[in-house]
Amino acid sequence: MQKGKINVQTENIFPVIKKFLYSDHEIFLRELISNATDATEKMKALVRSGESSIELGDLTIKVKLDKEAKTLSIIDRGIGMSAEEIDKYINQIAFSSAEEFVEKFKDVDNTNIIGHFGLGFYSAFMVAENVELISKTYKKGKGTKAVKWECDGSPEYTIEELESRDRGTEIILHISEESKEFLEESRIKTILDKYCKFLPVEIEFGEETSFEEIEGKKDKDGNPETEEVKKPRIINNTDPLWKKSPADLKTEDYNKFYRELYPMQMEDPLFHIHLNVDYPFNLTGILYFPKVKKNIEPARDKIQLYSNQVFITDNVENIVPEFLTLLHGVIDSPDIPLNVSRSYLQSDHNVSKISKHISKKVSDKLVELFKSDRKSYEEKWDDIKVFIQYGILSDDKFYERTKDIVLLKNTEGEYFTTEEYKEKIKADQTNKEENIIMLYANNEESQYSYIEKAKARNYDVLVMDGPLDNHYVDLMERKLEKSKFTRVDAESIDKLIEKEDAQVSKLTEDQQKDLKPVFEKGLNEKEYTVQFESLSETEDAVMITQPEFMRRMKDMQAMGGGGQMAFMGDMPDMYNVVVNSNHPMVSALVEDNDEAHKETIANQLIDLAKLSQNLLKGKELSEFVKRSMEIIK
């Protein structure tokens, strides 16, 4: 037996590693199995290339748990190591990397750094008080006997030769008392399912039970008899869909894999994008469009990030644009520096290129769908609208690529591109300043009467009831020339699209001045401003409107606009009480000498207008009902 001491300046580096990585210590298993996978893949490559004529045999990586002995073992049949290689890779390179790791990141709060420094093997000491490494190289000749290396977490180790055994490596972890959770089968299986689900080499852990037919045996009803059979449980799918050629796959294959990724997801995705790039970086993956509709919360755990089929994280912030986190799926790239700090990721050129490429592939897919099958695209629009608006609001390049495939939907359920819609309405909905006015409703039911009035004028009304529509129309007004968006209830129908031929008021300025206090009485002047307008006689006597700017700012602030809009949150809603100076009932009030009756009618007209806007509640609603009964009497 040979004893030795690793040449390190740090007196005992293992407690530092344990302390630093405590919050994420389950990754030890990912690191050890990744090493075993690498060793197995190298063995396969050597045989394929003809550099080795060895029989590969069973290459399954076995994970074994012995709760009584308090050990967890990882066994592979890869290339293995000789005594010299163990000394080089375990005692020297990996440990010097450990020193670099501790020195460089001792003040950084990041639990996903270990693999970057070649520390994969030493992560074992995060959970083990003693580690045995038994290995035999695939090479033949002198000095190629099996070797056992052992260390108790101090810089001192022992190494000895063993009797003949199979090639490959076995790592035996003697689990420490504070890490005994890793002696539970369910805990190990959870970790394997999380990190090793798609590794390219089969991972065996425990057993699973199935029922198989007994050949030649049937029950009394003539049905085949079955028996319970226990088989080794294989954890992973070694050939995930994203590694295959899109030409060999059908939609059903993609939908089946979607349910493999998200077992609780009941609905099929709308469509998918298969990523496959090998220059100037390596990137594969599949992204799915789920039905997002009203949800604009980024699903930060729905895109899974892999490196050579090893799961790394489902927090892809800084790796894909935020608006793409609404998507589901898998990204696999060995070129993303996965084990360094977030600030490094933000400045890394490869990450930036990959992020831009993914964004472009998504926009290209959308354009392709629009051009190849407009009808199908329209059918999906309500489900993908939020996603596309999010992208347009977040990314100027995404806007440039997709601006011509953004659809507008009207109250008749018809879809138009922006340019198609402008062409449709410009004849009727161009105002005196030559701006095209796009009318919209955000609640078809509550704004029904306003929509009907607009239709009676031959105006078209859009449906803009999505969570991002306020932000979107604000952006579009800045992007589009001579175009404005106005909510259908923002003004009276005569004022929504002002033409040259304005109505003339039947009331003089003095009559309006005398009548104004009657309408103002009982109103909160901080919330309601009374104004007279010259409208057609067929228009309502009194309407409640909210200035477009004020309403839009408050809606955007409620959606988290922040910044300059933050101050709006403390301000009350402000409305205009628009009195139609040409309505017969208003004219009659001028002639009414009964002040009490005049006030009753004015209040009734105001409350009717409030009722149409769902603003009449509580005490005011109760008084309105009583007053209505008195008027009917």
pLDDT in tens, 120-164: 788 888 899 999 999 999 988 766 789 999 998 777 889 999 887
List, in order, residues 6 or more apart from 536 with CB less than 8 Å away: 494, 503, 582
Q: Which residues in the chain show pLDDT less than 50?
A: 9-11, 21-22, 98, 101, 105, 108-118, 340-341, 562-569
Last residue of a domain, one of 329, 347, 382: 382
Q: What is the pLDDT of residue 558?
A: 63
Residues 9 and 51 in one domain: yes
CB 170 within 8 A of CB 23: no
Q: What is the pLDDT of residue 552?
A: 72
| Residues 249-303 pLDDT 10s | 999 999 999 999 988 877 889 999 999 988 778 889 999 998 776 656 655 668 8
Helical packing angle, 509-520 and 595-612, nearest 10°? 70
What is the pTM assigned to this prediction? 0.76
Residues 449 and 583 in one domain: no
Residue 216 lies in a domain: no
CA distances from 514 to 507, 511, 533, 588, 589 (A): 11, 5, 15, 13, 11
Domain that holds residue 11: 2-204
Residues 19 and 164 in one domain: yes
Distance CA 206, CA 227 (A): 20
Last residue of a domain, one of 182, 204, 226: 204
Residue 371 lies in a domain: yes
Q: What is the pLDDT of residue 7?
A: 54
Residue 73 lies in a domain: yes
Residues 286 and 417 in one domain: no
Give the chain's domain count: 4
CATH of the domain at 151: 3.30.565.10
Q: What is the pLDDT of residue 606?
A: 92
Does residue 6 sit in helix, strand or coil?
Answer: coil
Q: How far apart are the first and last CA of the chain?
A: 111
Residues 427 and 306 in one domain: no
Residues 353 and 451 in one domain: no
Residues 252 and 152 in one domain: no
Nearest to 276 by CA among 208, 197, 211, 361: 361
Q: What is the pLDDT of residue 348?
A: 63
At 97, the amino acid letter reads S
Last residue of a domain, one of 502, 531, 546: 502
Residues 144 and 37 in one domain: yes
Q: What would the two tokens of residue 503 be?
A: 């109505």
Distance CA 504, CA 500 (A): 12
Residue 232 lies in a domain: no
Residues 8 and 107 in one domain: yes
- HSE-CB at 41 with a 13 A cutoff on CA atoms is 12
Residues 426 and 367 in one domain: no
Q: Is 197 left (phi over 0), alpha (psi -120 to 50) or beta?
A: alpha
Residue 225 lies in a domain: no
